[in-house]
Structure 1
Amino acid sequence: MPSIDLYALVRHFQLSPVQARQLAACAQEQPPVDWAARLWRGLVVVAALLLGGGLIFWIAAQWPEQTRSFKLHVLQAAVLLPLLAAMALAQIRTAALLLATLALGGLLAFVGQTYQTGADAWQLFALWAALALPWTIVARSDGLWALWLLVVGAGLGFWIGLGTTVWELLWSGGTLRSVLHLLLWLPVWLVPVLLPRLGWAAVARPTLSGPMGAGLALAAWTALGVQSLVLQNQWPLYLLACLAVACLLAHAWGTRHLAVLGLGLIAANVLWLVGLGHGMFEHLRIGYTEGGLALMTLMIALSVGGSAHWLYRLQKESAQ
C-alpha cells in the first residue's frame, strides 16, 4: 500500500502512533496465498496433460485396427475442441490451449509419417511452433510460452544437428556457420526477457518461460563451445560461447533471477573448467601428471563449491 494511503487512513481514523506503526507493519505483509485457486489451476493443467497422453497412447494401441481417416479426424478434433473450449471457458483456457498444443504436435507427426511428406524433423517442429504461436500470444500464459520455447528449441536443435552431428557441422560448416548457430539461440533467451514488455500480450512474471529459454540457450552454447574447443581446437568459438554465457549471467544478476543464475553458473563452470582442462592436457602437458590431476580436482572443487556458496548467500539475502 502506498505511504500516502497509510497517512490518509491514520488521519481519517485518528490513529495513535502505536496503531499507525501496527498499520504500517500490516501493510508490508504479503497477502495470503489462494491455495484453492492454485490447486484448481494445477489440477486442470494435469488433466490436460493426462488427456493428451491418453489420446496418444490410445491411438498407438489402436493403430492397426483404425483406418487412416479415423485417426486423422480424431487428431483434428483433439486440436479443434480444446480451442473451442478455450474461447468459451476462461477458467480452463490455459489448460485447453496446452492440450491443443500437444495435440497439434501429434497431428503434425501423424501427417508427416502417414503421408510421407519428406519433411525433416526440424521442419515439423518449426511448423508446430508457427501454428501454436498465435494462441500462445493471445493466451498470455507463462506455461504456454515455456512449452512453445521447448518446441522452438527442439526445432533448432534438430536443424543445427546439436548433439549427434554437431562435430560434423563444426568440421564442414566453417567458423561462420558455427557463429550463426550460436547466435540463433539468442532469441530463445530474449523472448522471455521481453515478455513483460509486450503491451497487451505481456506476461507479468515469466517464472517458467524465463528458466526454460535461458536453460535451452545455455545448454546449446555450452555444448557448442565445449565441442568446438575439444574437437576442433577452435578457441574463438569457445570464447564466443563464453561471452554469450557471461552476458546471460550478467542479466540474471541484474534481475536477481536465482533460477537462471543457477543455470548460468552451471554452464559457466562447465565452460571454464573444460577450457582449463584442455589447456592443461593439450598445451601445457601437465594434466597427465599426478600434480596436474590434483590441481584439476582442486579447481573443480573450488569452482563448484564457490558458486554454490555464492548462490546460497544470494538466496538468503533475497529472502530477507
Structure 2
Amino acid sequence: MISTRLAILELTHRHRLDAATLGALWRIARLGQPSPELDTLLRRAVGMLAALLAGLGLIFLVAANLDALGRREKFILLQLCVGAACLGAAFLPRLRTSLALLGLLVIGALFAYFGQTYQTGADPWQLFAVWAVLALPLALGARTDIVWSAWVIVAMTGLTAWDAAQSGWWRFAGPNLGAHMLVALLASTLAVLMSQPLARFSGAGKVAFNLVVLFATTSLGGAGMLALFASSSWGALYYLLSLGLLGVAAALLTRRRLFDVTALSVIALGLIILLIAGMVRVIGMGHGGEIGMLLVAGLTTVGLMALAVRGILALMREYGTGGKP
C-alpha cells in the first residue's frame, strides 16, 4: 500500500499530472477506499475483546468472593459457562475463536474458585498445569493463534511457578540448576512443536511461537547465567548446553523456510548475553581491572549486536520483509 502511494506520487511529479489524472490514478489503485479486510479484522477484534472481558469478569467475580451467590450456585454458574463456551466453539464456526478463548479463561476461573473454596493445599503451579491440560483440546480445536497464545501464557506461567517452587531462584542461594534446565528444555520442546513445519498440525501461529521462543530463550539464558557463576560441577555443562541450543536454534531460523525475524532477534540477543557473560567469567573481574573489563565487554557487546543486526537485515532483504519464502 505504501509503495503504491509512493509510485503514484513519483509518476505525478515526473509527468506533472494534473489533479484530475491524479484522482483517477488514486481511484484505480483503490487507495481512497477502506480495506476489504477491515470489516473482518474489526469483527475478530471485537469478538476477542468481548471474550477477554467476559472471561476476566468471571475471574474477578470469583476473586472478589461475593456473598450474593452460594457455593453451589457459583460452581453451577462457572460449569455452565465452561460447557456453553465449549459447545458454542464446537458448533458455531464464526464464533469459535472467541468462545474458545472464553472457555479457556473460565476453566481457570473454575479451578481458582475450587482452590479458594476447599483450600486443597496444592501449589500454584498445579493449578496452571491442570488448567493447561484441560484447555489443550480447546486450543487444538480452535486452531487459531489467539487461543494458542493464551494457552502458551498459562503453560509458561505453570512452568515458571514449578521452577520457583523447586529451586527458590529468588534467593540466589544454592539454585537447583537441574530444575532450571528442565524448564528450559520443556520450553524449547514446546517451541519446536509450535514451529512453522509442525504448525499445520496444531494450528499455532507466529504470535504463539514467538511467545514460546521468548520464554525458552529467557529460560536457557537464565539457566546458563546461573550455571556460569555456580559452584556446581555441572555448571560448565549447563552453560555449554544452553549456548549450544540457542546456537542451533539461531542457525535453523536463518533458513528460508523457518526464517522468523522476531524469533531470530530474540535468540540472537540471548546468545550475545550468554557469550558476554562467559567472556567475563573466563577473564575474571576480581583482579583490579573491573573498568577495563567493563570497557572490553561493552565494546564486544556493541560489535556482536552490530553483526547480529546486519545479518538479520541481510536475511530480511533476501527472503522478504516478512520472512516468507
Into which bin does the TM-score normalised by the smaller protein fall? 0.7 to 0.9
Unpaired runs of 5+ residues, structure 1, are 1-31
Inter-CA distance 43–172: structure 2 relative to 1 (3 Å threshold) = closer
Distance 1:287 1:189 in 2: 41
1:110 to 95, 110, 113: 113
Contact 2:163 2:180 in 1 (8 A): no
Contact 2:167 2:175 in 1 (8 A): no
Deviation of 1:319 (Å): 3.2
Deviation of 1:286 (Å): 6.1
Residue 250 (structure 1) aligned with residue 218 (structure 2): no
Aligned to 2:240, what secondary structure does the other structure show?
Answer: helix
Contact 2:285 2:293 in 1 (8 A): no
Distance 2:97 2:138 in 1: 10
Contact 1:75 1:103 in 2 (8 A): yes
Name the aligned partner's letter for residue 320 of structure 2.
A
Residue 310 (structure 1) aligned with residue 311 (structure 2): yes
Contact 1:167 1:228 in 2 (8 A): no
Deviation of 1:80 (Å): 1.7
Inter-CA distance 39–297: structure 2 relative to 1 (3 Å threshold) = same
Q: Percent identity?
A: 28
Distance 2:182 2:58 in 1: 39
Distance 1:81 1:181 in 2: 34
Q: Render the CA deviation track for 1:249-280: whole Å, top value 9, x for unaligned.
A: 12211211111111111211221112122223
Give the TM-score normalised by the residue count of structure 1: 0.78
Contact 1:76 1:107 in 2 (8 A): yes
Distance 2:251 2:81 in 1: 43
1:227 paired residue number: 226
- RMSD (Å), alpha carbons: 2.8
Unpaired runs of 5+ residues, structure 2, are 1-34
Distance 1:78 1:272 in 2: 50
Aligned to 2:205, what secondary structure does the other structure show?
Answer: coil
Residue 145 (structure 1) aligned with residue 144 (structure 2): no
Contact 2:96 2:142 in 1 (8 A): yes
Contact 2:125 2:158 in 1 (8 A): yes
Q: Render the CA deviation track for 1:157-206: whole Å, top value 9, x for unaligned.
A: 22222897137799475x666654443333221220253352xxx42x72
Aligned to 1:83, what secondary structure does the other structure show?
Answer: helix
2:242 paired residue number: 241
1:165 to 147, 168, 172: 168
Aligned to 2:206, what secondary structure does the other structure show?
Answer: coil
1:297 paired residue number: 298
1:97 paired residue number: 100
Contact 1:195 1:206 in 2 (8 A): no
Residue 188 (structure 1) aligned with residue 190 (structure 2): yes
